[in-house]
Amino acid sequence: MCLVCNRPFSWRKKWEKVWDEVKYCSEKCKRNKKG
């Protein structure tokens, strides 16, 4: 689930090594994170 828009997203191969760090569905949401 994206922390910004709450949209669920699925595991992706490119995120395999950083899955624990993936908290946003997109770069846009990553930049718009609250706080």
pLDDT of residue 25: 87
Please give the residue range of the domain that contains residue 27. 1-35
Distance CA 25, CA 12 (A): 11
Read off the DSSP letter of residue 1: -
Give the mean pLDDT of 8-29.
88
| Total structural domains within the chain | 1
pTM for the predicted model, two decimal places: 0.61
Concatenating the DSSP letter of every residue in 5-34 gives T-------GGGGGGGGG---SSHHHHHT--
pLDDT at 34: 66
The Cα 6–Cα 25 span in angstroms is: 9
Going by pLDDT thresholds of 50, 70 and 90, the confidence category of residue 35 is low
Look at residue 6 and tell me whether its pLDDT is greater than 90. Answer: yes
Report the Cα–Cα distance between both ends of the chain, in Å, rounded.
Answer: 18
